[in-house]
């Protein structure tokens, strides 16, 4: 199998409906979530979906309702994501709000205020579902009253460029915010609150996904999807790859030794590489940058690889206008140009010229990056 032939099978496994069917059940015309029986007929139901995968997650939930003949006449929904267009068709009333990503700015503030206005209309005995996915931290935001918008954007930008882990970044963000760290619930009187979380962090604990805006004693939380679940799907569907989750190996030497010891030719790594970006940078993302970095290392005979793929599961790799990049032994790139692209953080152009960018795809779920090494 060629490296590029793995892209489509991976994208199919990102469908959030796969795990939703394991999470939700239907009994006696009620939705069953854990040990909870939720009767949609007798309550007003609110679906608030926030994050880069907000629309696909809501579409998956609608599909579940339709396939199980759940009545949705009393269902309303709010979508908060970063897209100006919304192609999904919903059978229930919905409103689409858009914010900024990856740095929260005026659009995010305005969208959050509109969301809070909606939350204020929800009654105590209504039912409220929050669908939270990666990207929520930038899309949902109102700074603390003591921080001006200009100062907030400056501090947010500084945090984003520090190269912090997702957990560290989200904890820092919560210190600046009126809605993070469980504080969004302060604007909602509803007593029946359920969180469905798609966890894009390395942590098993879901509370800091999207900086945890709806985590608190009033909400019951369930894990919809995470990298462990995706790993199991990948192992079932693509068994000839040794699938690992960072940080099971911490460097190239460990990865190479593990593959050789287990007689594996293909190793898949689930996780994310952290980059500290300069102020002046070109076009690219962490996936295209790392693909360029490994190609540079291969040209200098510091790593032994035949092929390599790095792609984002949310379909967007930074400013690269792609989901990532791949290469194999047939690639021919001037080593000097490769070094220059790494220095300028301008990795996307060299793969675009070679036809080796992974095309953008509509975000199905937002979990992590996937890298595959052909050794």
For residue 154, name the pLDDT band (cuts at 50, 70, 90).
Answer: confident
In this prediction, residue 195 carries a pLDDT of 98
| CATH code of residue 346 | 3.40.1480.10
Q: Are residues 125 and 217 in the same domain?
A: yes
In this prediction, residue 242 carries a pLDDT of 93
Q: Is the pLDDT of residue 278 over 70?
A: no
- Segment 3-10 shows an average pLDDT of 95
Taking the C-alpha atoms of residue 171 and residue 161, their distance in angstroms, rounded to an integer, is: 15
Q: When comparing pLDDT for 322 and 175, which is higher?
A: 322
- Segment 346-374 shows an average pLDDT of 91
DSSP 118-147: HHTT--TTSEEEEEE-TTHHHHS--B-TTS
Q: What percent of the chain has pLDDT over 70?
A: 98
Tell me, yes or no, whether 3 lies in a domain: no
- Segment 11-24 shows an average pLDDT of 96
- Round the average pLDDT of the chain to a whole number and report it: 90
- Segment 327-354 shows an average pLDDT of 90
For residue 291, name the pLDDT band (cuts at 50, 70, 90).
Answer: very high
Query: Residue 287: phi, psi to the nearest 5?
Result: -75, -45
Q: Are residues 211 and 265 in the same domain?
A: no
Q: What percent of the chain has pLDDT over 90?
A: 62
Tell me, yes or no, whether 152 lies in a domain: yes
Paired tokens of 176: 């600046």
- Segment 253-264 shows an average pLDDT of 78
Do residues 93 and 110 lie in contact, with contact meaning Cβ atoms separated by under 8 Å? Answer: no
> Among 225, 259, 294, which residue terminates a domain?
225
Domain span holding position 26? 15-225
Tell me, yes or no, whether 235 lies in a domain: no
Most confidently predicted of 2-16, 195-209, 268-282, 326-340: 2-16
Closest residue by Cα to residue 280 from 319, 244, 226: 319
Q: Are residues 143 and 257 in the same domain?
A: no
> Among 173, 200, 225, which residue terminates a domain?
225
Q: Are residues 168 and 281 in the same domain?
A: no
| CATH code of residue 84 | 3.40.50.10180
Tell me, yes or no, whether 7 lies in a domain: no
In this prediction, residue 218 carries a pLDDT of 93
In this prediction, residue 277 carries a pLDDT of 62
Q: Is the pLDDT of residue 119 over 90?
A: yes
Q: Are residues 217 and 251 in the same domain?
A: no
Structural domains of the chain, count: 2
Burial of residue 364, with CB atoms counted within 10 A of its CB: 0-12 exposed, 13-18 middle, 19 or more buried: buried
Q: Are residues 218 and 273 in the same domain?
A: no
For residue 251, name the pLDDT band (cuts at 50, 70, 90).
Answer: confident
In this prediction, residue 225 carries a pLDDT of 96
Q: Are residues 246 and 207 in the same domain?
A: no
Q: Is the pLDDT of residue 279 over 70?
A: no
For residue 88, name the pLDDT band (cuts at 50, 70, 90).
Answer: confident
Q: Are residues 182 and 110 in the same domain?
A: yes
Q: Are residues 207 and 255 in the same domain?
A: no
- Segment 66-75 shows an average pLDDT of 91
Tell me, yes or no, whether 2 lies in a domain: no
> Among 225, 248, 277, which residue terminates a domain?
225
- Segment 167-186 shows an average pLDDT of 86
Tell me, yes or no, whether 10 lies in a domain: no
Tell me, yes or no, whether 232 lies in a domain: no
In this prediction, residue 280 carries a pLDDT of 64
Q: Are residues 89 and 207 in the same domain?
A: yes
- Segment 190-201 shows an average pLDDT of 94
For residue 342, name the pLDDT band (cuts at 50, 70, 90).
Answer: very high
pLDDT in tens, 226-250: 999 999 999 999 999 999 998 777 6
Taking the C-alpha atoms of residue 373 and residue 294, their distance in angstroms, rounded to an integer, is: 10
Q: Are residues 312 and 195 in the same domain?
A: no
Strand order in the sheet with 192-198: 93-98, 75-81, 45-50, 127-132, 192-198, 219-225
Q: Are residues 218 and 244 in the same domain?
A: no
């Amino acid at each position: 199998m060629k490296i590029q032939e793995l892209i489509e099978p991976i994208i199919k496994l990102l469908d959030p409906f796969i795990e939703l069917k394991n999470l939700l059940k239907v009994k006696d015309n009620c939705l069953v979530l854990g040990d909870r029986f939720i009767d949609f007929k007798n309550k007003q139901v609110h679906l608030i979906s926030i994050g880069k995968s907000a629309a696909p997650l809501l579409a998956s939930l609608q599909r579940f309702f339709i396939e199980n003949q759940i009545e949705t006449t009393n269902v309303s929904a709010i979508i908060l994501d970063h897209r100006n267009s919304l192609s999904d068709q919903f059978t229930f009333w919905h409103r689409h709000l858009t914010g900024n990503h990856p740095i929260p700015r005026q659009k995010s503030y305005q969208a959050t205020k509109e969301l809070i206005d909606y939350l204020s209309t929800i009654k105590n005995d209504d039912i409220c579902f929050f669908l939270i996915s990666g990207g929520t931290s930038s899309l949902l935001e109102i700074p603390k009253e003591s921080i001006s918008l200009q100062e907030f954007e400056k501090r947010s930008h500084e945090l984003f460029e520090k190269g912090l882990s997702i957990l560290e970044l989200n904890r820092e963000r919560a210190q600046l915010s009126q809605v993070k760290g469980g504080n969004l619930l302060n604007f909602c009187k509803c007593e029946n609150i359920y969180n469905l979380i798609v966890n894009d962090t390395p942590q098993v604990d879901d509370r800091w996904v999207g900086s945890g805006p709806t985590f608190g004693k009033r909400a019951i939380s369930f894990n919809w999807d995470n990298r462990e679940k995706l790993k199991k799907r990948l192992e079932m569907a693509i068994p000839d790859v040794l699938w690992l989750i960072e940080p099971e190996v911490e460097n190239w030497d460990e990865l190479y030794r593990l593959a050789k010891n287990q007689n594996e030719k293909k190793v898949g790594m689930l996780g994310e590489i952290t980059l500290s970006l300069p102020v002046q940078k070109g076009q690219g993302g962490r996936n295209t940058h790392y693909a360029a970095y490994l190609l540079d290392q291969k040209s200098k005979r510091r790593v032994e690889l035949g092929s390599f793929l790095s792609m984002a599961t949310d379909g967007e790799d930074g400013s690269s206008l792609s989901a990532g990049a791949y290469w194999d032994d047939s690639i021919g790139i001037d080593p000097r140009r490769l070094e220059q692209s790494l220095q300028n953080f301008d990795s996307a152009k060299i793969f675009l010229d070679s036809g080796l960018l992974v095309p953008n795809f509509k975000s199905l779920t937002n979990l992590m990056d996937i890298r595959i090494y052909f050794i």
